[in-house]
Amino acid sequence: MARRPTIKDIARRAGVSESAVSFALNGRPGVSEQTRARIRRVTEELGWQPNSAARALSGERSGAVGLVLARPAHTLGVESFFLQLVSGIQEVLSAERIALLFQVVEDIEAECAVHRRWWAERRVDGVLVVDPRTNDPRPELLAGLGLPAVLIGGYGGEGDGEGGDGGGGEGPSVSRVWADDTRAMTEVLDHLHGLGHRRIVHIAGLPGLAHTARRVAALRAEAERLGLPAGQVRSVPTDYSDTEGAAATRRVLAEPEPPTALVYDNDVMAVAGSAVAAELGIPVPGGLSIVAWDDSALCRVTHPRLTALVRDTAGFGRLAAEELLAVLAGGPPRARESELPRLEPRESTSPPPAAY
C-alpha cells in the first residue's frame, strides 16, 4: 500500500513552500511561470491528487453532490429512466471531478432526513432533486438549509412559488430543469384524436407527483378544447408499478364502453397493459391503441412494438448537472427547458376499430 503524497512532499522536492505549491496547482497568481512548471512536473512525478477531506475542510467545498431517490422498494428497478439520467449527470460531473453521492430511500420523509444529514455533515455542496411533487416540502427545506439544489422535472411555468427569497418576483426561487409535459400530452391526444379515437384513458402515475398533475390537467384541457366529454377522456391514477398498471388496464377494458386508446405514464405499465390486452384477446393496435410515455428497450421488445414518447433522458441529466454547477458557481436560479418529448409512432397505434 503506497503512501499517498501530500503537498508537503511536493514542496520539498520542488524546493518551495507548501503555499507556493497550493498557489501553483490552483492556478492563482503569485508564482512565476518557471516555478509553476517545476511544481507541476514534480506533482506529475509523484502522482499527487488533492486529499478531498483536507480540501473540503479548508475550502468549504466538499466536491460532491447528492441525489436521493425516494421510492418504495417495489416500484424500484424496472425504470430505464433513472440510470439513464444518472449517466447523463455524471458525464458532466466527472469532467469537473465532482463525486455523486447516491441514496435510495423509502419515502420523502426519509429523503428529507438524508438531505439534512448531508447538509449537517457537509457531505455535499448541492443536491439534485427528482420526482417533484405538488406541495413538495423539499424546495423549502433546501432553501432553509441554504443547500444549493436543482429540481429535475419540476416547473411548468407555475411561477416562483415559495416566496421570500428572490424579492423581485422575477424567475423561480430554485433552479429547475423541465420538459414540457403539457405540450407533449396535448400532442399525444391530438395524435390519437386525429386517428379517430374518441374514448381515451390515461393510465397516470403517482398522483402526488407534479408532472402527473400537469399531464392530467393537460389531458383534460385538450379534451375540452376538442369537445370530448370528461367521461370519454380521463386519467386514472396508479403507483407506476406493473401491477397497478395491469389492474387499471383490466378495469377500464371491462367497462361497458371501453376506451379505444390508452396512454401510459411509463414504459413498464405500457408493457404490462399490452400483456393484459393479449390475455383478453384484444388485438393491438386493431382493437386497442397504446402509447407509452418514455421510451426504452421495453417498448421495442414487445410485439407489437409500442408507440412511445421519446426523450433524451441522458441529455436531461446533463442539463440538470450543468445547471447545478451554475448554481454552485453562484449563478441565479433558472428554469431551463429541455427539448420536447417526441412521439415515435410504432405498431401499437392505429385508427380505432371500425365497429366504433
Partner DNA sequence: CAACGGGACTGAAGCGCTTAAGCAACACGC
Partner DNA sequence: GCGTGTTGCTTAAGCGCTTCAGTCCCGTTG
Contact set with DNA (CB under 7 A) = 4, 6-8, 15-20, 22-23, 25-26, 28-32, 34-36, 48, 50-51, 54-55, 57-59
Coil, helix or strand for 317? helix
Which of DNA, a copy of itself, none sits in contact with 35, Cβ below 5 to 8 A by type? DNA
Which of a copy of itself, DNA, none sits in contact with 32, Cβ below 5 to 8 A by type? DNA
Coil, helix or strand for 66? strand
For the four alpha carbons of 107, 215, 200 and 290, in that order, the dihedral sign comes to: negative
Which of a copy of itself, DNA, none sits in contact with 272, Cβ below 5 to 8 A by type? a copy of itself
Q: Is 83 a residue that touches a copy of itself (CB under 8 A)? A: yes
Helix-, strand-, coil-residue percentages of the chain, each rounded to 5: 45, 15, 40
Helices 267-280, 242-253: crossing angle, 10 deg rounding: 40
Q: Rank residues 12 and 300 by Cβ distance to DNA and give the closer one.
A: 12
Instruction: Scan residues 275-294 and list those touching a copy of itself (CB under 8 A).
Output: 275-276, 278-279
Tell me how far, at minimum, the Cβ of 63 lies from a copy of itself, in Å.
8
Instruction: Scan residues 19-48 and list those touching a copy of itself (CB under 8 A).
Output: 47-48
Number of residues that bind a copy of itself (CB under 8 A): 70
Distances (CA, A) of 260 to 140, 143, 304: 43, 46, 16
Measured distance CA(219)–CA(233) in Å, rounded: 8
Q: Rank residues 59 and 137 by Cβ distance to DNA and give the closer one.
A: 59
Q: Rank residues 19 and 87 by Cβ distance to a copy of itself and give the closer one.
A: 87
For residue 238, what is its C-alpha cell? 396508479
Q: Rank residues 55 and 303 by Cβ distance to DNA and give the closer one.
A: 55
230: exposed, middle or buried (C-beta count within 10 Å: 0-12, 13-18, 19+)? exposed
Distances (CA, A) of 178 to 9, 133, 212, 320, 338: 48, 13, 13, 9, 6
Measured distance CA(23)–CA(81) in Å, rounded: 42
Q: What are phi and psi of 182, to 5 degrees?
A: -60, -50
Tell me how far, at minimum, the Cβ of 15 lies from DNA, in Å.
7
Site string for a copy of itself, 212-241 (x = CB under 8 A): -----------------------------x
Q: Rank residues 59 and 163 by Cβ distance to DNA and give the closer one.
A: 59
Which of a copy of itself, DNA, none sits in contact with 302, Cβ below 5 to 8 A by type? a copy of itself
Tell me how far, at minimum, the Cβ of 97 lies from DNA, in Å.
12
Measured distance CA(27)–CA(45) in Å, rounded: 19
Q: Is 76 a residue that touches a copy of itself (CB under 8 A)? A: yes
Measured distance CA(262)–CA(308) in Å, rounded: 12
Contact residue for a copy of itself among 25, 35, 100, 112 (CB under 8 A): 100
Tell me how far, at minimum, the Cβ of 100 lies from DNA, in Å.
21
For residue 19, what is its C-alpha cell? 503555499
Measured distance CA(309)–CA(186) in Å, rounded: 12
Q: Is 123 a residue that touches a copy of itself (CB under 8 A)? A: yes
Q: Which residues bind a copy of itself (CB under 8 A)?
A: 1-2, 4, 47-57, 62, 64, 69, 73, 76-84, 86-87, 90, 94, 97, 99-105, 114, 117-123, 144-146, 241-243, 245-246, 268, 271-272, 275-276, 278-279, 296-298, 300-303, 314
